[in-house]
Structure 1
Amino acid sequence: MGSDDRILFETDDYHTGGEPFRIVAPGAVALEGHGVADKRVKAMASESVQFARALLCSEPRGHADMYGGFVTEPDDEGADLGVLFWHKDGFSTACGHGTIALGVWAVETGLVPSQPDGIRDVRIDVPSGRVTARVAFDAGAITSVSFVNVPSWVHATGVDVGTDRGAVTCDIAFGGAMYAVVPASAVGLRVHPDDLTDLIRTGRRIRNDLNAAGAAEHPNDPRLSGVYGIIFTEDVDPGDAVAAAPVEGLGSEGALHQRNVTIFSDGEVDRSPCGSGTAARVAQLMSQGRLKEGELLVHDSIVGSRFHARAVSQGVTTTADGHHAVVVEVTGTAHRFGRSHFTVDPRDVLVPGFVLR
């Protein structure tokens, strides 16, 4: 380390189903506001917080699809921690894969006690509400994490939108953020790495057009308005399913099995099956009659990683405009792959970094 370098941030780096989540412990970033939702709004206007986000997301320390979170105190004593989720374009309202990673992190760092067997709940305040990461243990080892999301519901169905591959019809559903769901075949594409460039281009076009039309106004909280991601989906033929280890005790035989990729924010690609997007999908599939309460959705990502999801209750709340909501539980796991010390050389003209795609 050069004599002029100083450590600005220490991080724990995890991935959930291949999607990165970089965790910054409390105290490293000064976050103002009363409650996590208010802190998100103030962070967007804070030069110092935006600098920290950009430094940790951008190259050479990150990349165009980097994701992470600033851990902060919870809104009240009912939760164990709070978090501000961030990516290269700003601060998101929800992040299911990050919630799963935070559940593992909270146990591995001792913030929440470990245990030999059973379930340990980690309650987390996020901008869209309070979620729970249910950490499962067997012989002292973490075997899976299930996150119980904020209520999810279908916002709109049959929304027409144009693309450079023709007009399509989508549904918009909320799972902590607003998602538009489009069958990949409707735009002549597959959920496959070979089609990723076209999926990104088409997803950006759909998101921009829907937001320009004001198609996703949250009925209760304008801070949660706007389409965050486009979920391209396809059913999985049991004969061509990617082999993946089942989650203990979930019994996925005969379950609805789909593959998806979420293009979120300004063209970012979720490597995982997208946790909050999966919750939105369960709400949509239930509204279509393809799932019932308690029935399993096996949800694969574009890289072959897998979540399992089900509605654990329905009719628990009704939004201001009359939509019935369901509470969805999404199960996966996360792994720490590194710990980092990030420094800044005062002579470095590329600070806080750059983004290439």
Structure 2
Amino acid sequence: MRWKKTLQLLDVHCEGEVGKVVLSGIYDIPGETMTAKMNYINKENDSLRRFVCLEPRGAVNQTVNLMVPPCDPTADAGFIVLQADEAHPMSGANTMCVATALLETGMIEMQEPHTQLRLEAPAGIVTANVECKDGKCVRVSLDMIPAFVEALDQVVETEEWGKVKVDIAFGGVFYAVVFVDQLDFETSPEDTDKLVRAGMAIKKAANEAFKVQHPEIPSIDHIAYAIFAQRMPDGVIRTCCTLWPGRVDRSPCGTGSSAILSVLRAQGNCHR
């Protein structure tokens, strides 16, 4: 068999959420900014995203991160998050996957015990602080891009759950944040089916009811996910993000956690 095109993908995961990384085979995507590159994929040529994210080569239960040269000269690398529905401007879990891939493959030299990377996504620069030992990434923490609340205490209408109160917030993408105490299920594995059904319905209803747009990046202009939050007895907020076409995020969800924190702060429930 003669190969016409070869892509090299590295299998990486963050808390079980698969975030493969395209390491070679694609040099760059047209666009002067990372946002323009994302828009090119979403609006002009979607063939690469479909090639790596959908069957038979991909699967809807994973993300593929496309490495591209950064546009910001202060960044160490650039990447675009590709999922089954579209290219997304940011993902915390996938930033961790990208940092791990860059360091453990030697694309960027690892400094033990700590390496700091500036990674450019379409939504902005994220700083990855990586704890390193014996050539491996042991732990990654992120300094995320600014999160903010768009609107609190909004209501959407769904067929199965009736009226649902949502908070619209940005944490790298826009979210419909839903606290589950108003519903008949919890953020638990036993309720995965209900979480997925409700998440898809609430996201659709929220996009139909509300127009959103990032104040500095106009092309970030829709609600990407519905994420559920549950206050536990010990004060912890347990979350579950739902993704198209109907699955849950295995990771805690970095951008969703940022969005929820912005909601809690706006409510006066986050004091640090």
**TM-score > 0.5 by shorter chain:** yes
Separation in structure 1 between the aligned mates of residue 220 and residue 27 of structure 2, nearest angstrom: 23
**Alignment partner, residue 157 of structure 1:** 152
Question: What is the Cα deviation at residue 259 of structure 1?
Answer: 1.4
**Alignment partner, residue 175 of structure 1:** 171
Name which one, 1 or 2, has greater alpha-carbon Rg.
Answer: 1
Separation in structure 1 between the aligned mates of residue 194 and residue 125 of structure 2, nearest angstrom: 35
**Alignment partner, residue 34 of structure 2:** 36
2:138 matches 1:143: yes
Question: What is the Cα deviation at residue 274 of structure 1?
Answer: 0.6
Q: Which amino acid aligns with 1:100?
A: M
2:184 maps to which of 158, 177, 188:
188
Q: Comparing both chains, which one has the higher relative contact order based on Cα–Cα distances under 8 Å and sequence gaps of 6 or more?
A: 1
* Structure 2 CA distance for partners of 1:216 and 1:110, relative to 1, 3 Å: same
Q: Which amino acid aligns with 2:122?
A: P
Question: What is the Cα deviation at residue 135 of structure 1?
Answer: 0.6
Separation in structure 2 between the aligned mates of residue 165 and residue 191 of structure 1, nearest angstrom: 16
Q: CA RMSD in A?
A: 1.9
Q: Any stretches of 5+ residues in structure 1 without a counterpart?
A: 239-255, 294-357
Q: Is the partner of 1:83 in helix, strand or coil? A: strand
2:200 matches 1:204: yes
Q: Is the partner of 2:141 in helix, strand or coil? A: strand
Question: What is the Cα deviation at residue 38 of structure 1?
Answer: 0.7
**Alignment partner, residue 255 of structure 2:** 276
Q: Any stretches of 5+ residues in structure 2 without a counterpart?
A: none
Separation in structure 2 between the aligned mates of residue 279 and residue 96 of structure 1, nearest angstrom: 9
**Alignment partner, residue 115 of structure 2:** 120
**Alignment partner, residue 229 of structure 2:** 233
2:20 maps to which of 4, 22, 25:
22
Separation in structure 2 between the aligned mates of residue 265 and residue 71 of structure 1, nearest angstrom: 23
Question: What is the Cα deviation at residue 195 of structure 1?
Answer: 1.9
* Structure 2 CA distance for partners of 1:226 and 1:265, relative to 1, 3 Å: farther
**Alignment partner, residue 59 of structure 2:** 63
Identity percentage of aligned residues: 30
Q: Deviations over 1:74-130 (max 9, x none)?
A: 11320011111100111001111010111111111223221232x311111101111
Separation in structure 1 between the aligned mates of residue 84 and residue 43 of structure 2, nearest angstrom: 15
2:5 matches 1:10: no
8 Å Cα contact 1:159/1:171 also seen in 2:
yes
Q: Is the partner of 2:219 in helix, strand or coil? A: helix
* Structure 2 CA distance for partners of 1:200 and 1:229, relative to 1, 3 Å: same
Aligned residues: 271
1:261 maps to which of 240, 248, 260:
240
Q: Which amino acid aligns with 1:20?
A: V
Separation in structure 2 between the aligned mates of residue 33 and residue 290 of structure 1, nearest angstrom: 41
Q: Deviations over 1:130-172 (max 9, x none)?
A: 1111111346543210111110111100101112212111111
Q: Is the partner of 1:78 in helix, strand or coil? A: coil
8 Å Cα contact 1:40/1:127 also seen in 2:
yes
**Alignment partner, residue 96 of structure 1:** 92
Separation in structure 2 between the aligned mates of residue 232 and residue 143 of structure 1, nearest angstrom: 28
Q: Deviations over 1:6-33 (max 9, x none)?
A: 6622100100011110111254264111
**Alignment partner, residue 267 of structure 2:** 288
8 Å Cα contact 1:166/1:187 also seen in 2:
no
Q: Is the partner of 1:76 in helix, strand or coil? A: coil
Separation in structure 2 between the aligned mates of residue 151 and residue 159 of structure 1, nearest angstrom: 22
Displaced runs of 4 or more, over 4 A: 4-7, 138-141
Separation in structure 1 between the aligned mates of residue 9 and residue 196 of structure 2, nearest angstrom: 29
Separation in structure 2 between the aligned mates of residue 55 and residue 193 of structure 1, nearest angstrom: 31
Q: Is the partner of 2:216 in helix, strand or coil? A: coil
Q: Which amino acid aligns with 1:192?
A: S
Q: Is the partner of 2:11 in helix, strand or coil? A: strand
Q: Please report the TM-score for the alignment, with normalisation by the length of structure 1.
A: 0.71
